[in-house]
Amino acid sequence: MKNIQKVYIETYGCQMNLSDSEIVVSILSEGGYGRTEDINSADIIFVNTCSIRENAEERVRKRLQFFRSLRKKKPELVIGLLGCMADRTRAALMDEEKLLDLVAGPDAYRDLPQLLSQVGSGQKAINTILSADETYADITPVRLDANHVSAFISIMRGCENYCSYCVVPSTRGQERSRDAASVVNETRDLFEKGYREVTLLGQNVNSYEWKSGDETINFARLLERVAQVDPLMRVRFATSHPKDISDELLHTIARHTNLCKTIHLPVQSGSNRMLDLMNRKYTREQYMERIDAIRRIIPGCAISTDIIAGFCHETEQDHRDTLSLMEWVGYDYAYMFKYSERPQTLAADTLPDNVPGTVKEQRLREIIDLQQKLSYQSNRQDTGKTFEVLVEGVSKRAETRYYGRNSQNKVVVFPKTGSGPGSYVHVQVERFTSATLLGKVV
């Protein structure tokens, strides 16, 4: 009997990459391969990569060098690179460093069994062709999460916003949306399997559009259909683009209690000059109007964001504009980074990366310090409030406590009760840190 080859997969980057890894495992399982979580027993190692930031690429390169040491012990070990780094780095890693056996881009995962067959025949295998219609809508992902409570569902792929700093349009191609019915059916299947939360994913979910006969289903209508699967299934989504988030979507969220009251709305900068250079297609004032709409239509909604420090030509005043916008919004949490030039972007081709590294570091430190203050203030305002919390698992810091998240996506820690992961409990907040709410079950 032929031994089943075992695949070990590591994922770097965003939630979309984790969703892609689940698709890869499903395709390989159908192709007769097994999965292992023990790297030392693996016959095949895949690294699913992200190119959005330089430090993510550096982590992947260091990890690949470690895999080279494993191959010295196991010469037949196959090493493959998946995802956004595939096309841009294949020459260096496959030809120059002679480290990789296989390279597959985000739209080539169906071809993996065939590519592995090529490697088995002694050939290098490459497919980095982008597709105009691949959505993997018919693939049932093998869920890799540990808690079996929450899951990701990719509803669309690609991006056509062409922000000047972003590599996604060149690595993931043009926008294409999944059949709305397939998204609803996947949600229903997850609920029947015991999952109680899904996050709908897309580079810009607001661009979702599916035409069925004479009907056009936009993101707000899709979100409503997913919410109607069952009121006990919580629904989140990421990410919204500020230029596209509509009142229709906000009213949809307000109408359904299981649509989580949190919106991730990346601003990147508070300066109109920077927003123009970034090609973000909105102004500071337009962004603020959308924040006002969220506050008006969904009271108590949490708002998070992404911020880039030290983009090309950024002055001290541009930086101060970002800090002032942060204070005006009062973000509940944020993802904050210093700018790193990415190849195959408009900024790399046309704008100098001319803010000194020490200045980027200082500005990023000020942004982080301010956000910690804002997060602390946000959590302090929750003291004494009672929230419905979806139990996700046991706290890493105390075996006697559970953790979960409320509708606003805040982590809540509380003493264990008879209700375990996958159940809902009501927790009254007694204490807090800038990152966590702590309370008791009521």
Check whether residue 158 and residue 45 sit in a common domain.
Answer: no
Check whether residue 361 and residue 266 sit in a common domain.
Answer: yes
Chain segment 193-232, per-residue pLDDT in tens:
999 999 999 999 999 999 988 999 999 999 999 999 999 9
Mean pLDDT lowest among 89-98, 203-212, 263-272: 89-98
In this prediction, residue 96 carries a pLDDT of 67
Name the band, by pLDDT with cuts 50, 70 and 90, for residue 102.
Answer: very high
In this prediction, residue 1 carries a pLDDT of 44
User: What does the pLDDT average to over 401-425?
Assistant: 95
Supply the mean pLDDT for the chain: 94
Domain that holds residue 112: 6-127
Domain count, the chain: 3
Residue 253 lies in a domain: yes
> End of a domain among 380, 396, 413?
380
Check whether residue 54 and residue 188 sit in a common domain.
Answer: no
Mean pLDDT lowest among 77-81, 170-174, 285-289, 410-414: 170-174
Chain segment 149-189, per-residue pLDDT in tens:
999 999 999 999 999 999 999 888 999 999 999 999 999 99
Cα–Cα distance measured from residue 9 to residue 67, given in angstroms and rounded to the nearest whole number = 12
Check whether residue 397 and residue 372 sit in a common domain.
Answer: no
Phi, psi dihedral angles at 235 (to 5 degrees) = -130, 125
Cα–Cα distance measured from residue 166 to residue 348, given in angstroms and rounded to the nearest whole number = 10
Chain segment 281-332, per-residue pLDDT in tens:
999 999 999 999 999 999 999 999 999 999 999 999 999 999 999 999 999 9
Residue 137 lies in a domain: no
Check whether residue 155 and residue 257 sit in a common domain.
Answer: yes
Cα–Cα distance measured from residue 14 to residue 337, given in angstroms and rounded to the nearest whole number = 14
Name the band, by pLDDT with cuts 50, 70 and 90, for residue 14.
Answer: confident
Q: Is 134 in contact with 157 (CB distance < 8 Å)?
A: yes
Q: Which residues contact 320 (CB under 8 A, 6 or more apart)?
A: none
Check whether residue 274 and residue 354 sit in a common domain.
Answer: yes
Residue 143 lies in a domain: no
Quote the pTM value.
Answer: 0.92
Cα–Cα distance measured from residue 392 to residue 57, given in angstroms and rounded to the nearest whole number = 31
Residue 173 lies in a domain: yes
Enclosing H/E stretch for 285? helix 284-297
Where does 298-356 have alpha helices with state H?
Answer: 316-329, 346-350
Mean pLDDT lowest among 1-15, 131-145, 251-265, 315-329: 1-15
CATH number for the domain that contains residue 256: 3.80.30.20
Check whether residue 238 and residue 328 sit in a common domain.
Answer: yes
Check whether residue 393 and residue 352 sit in a common domain.
Answer: no
CATH number for the domain that contains residue 42: 3.40.50.12160
Check whether residue 400 and residue 361 sit in a common domain.
Answer: no
Check whether residue 369 and residue 390 sit in a common domain.
Answer: no
Residue 140 lies in a domain: no
Name the band, by pLDDT with cuts 50, 70 and 90, for residue 12.
Answer: confident
Check whether residue 170 and residue 119 sit in a common domain.
Answer: no
CATH number for the domain that contains residue 428: 2.40.50.140
Is 95's pLDDT higher than 80? no
Give the three-state DSSP class for 176.
strand
Is 55's pLDDT higher than 80? no
In this prediction, residue 287 carries a pLDDT of 98
User: What does the pLDDT average to over 245-273?
Assistant: 98
> End of a domain among 127, 158, 188?
127
What are the C-alpha distances in Å from 422 to residues 146, 395, 417?
Answer: 12, 15, 13
Chain segment 329-368, per-residue pLDDT in tens:
999 999 999 999 998 899 999 999 999 999 999 999 999 9
Cα–Cα distance measured from residue 421 to residue 403, given in angstroms and rounded to the nearest whole number = 9
Q: What is the DSSP string of 189-223?
A: HHHHTT--EEEEE-TTGGG-EEEETTEEEEHHHHH
Q: Is 24 in contact with 109 (CB distance < 8 Å)?
A: yes
Check whether residue 269 and residue 355 sit in a common domain.
Answer: yes
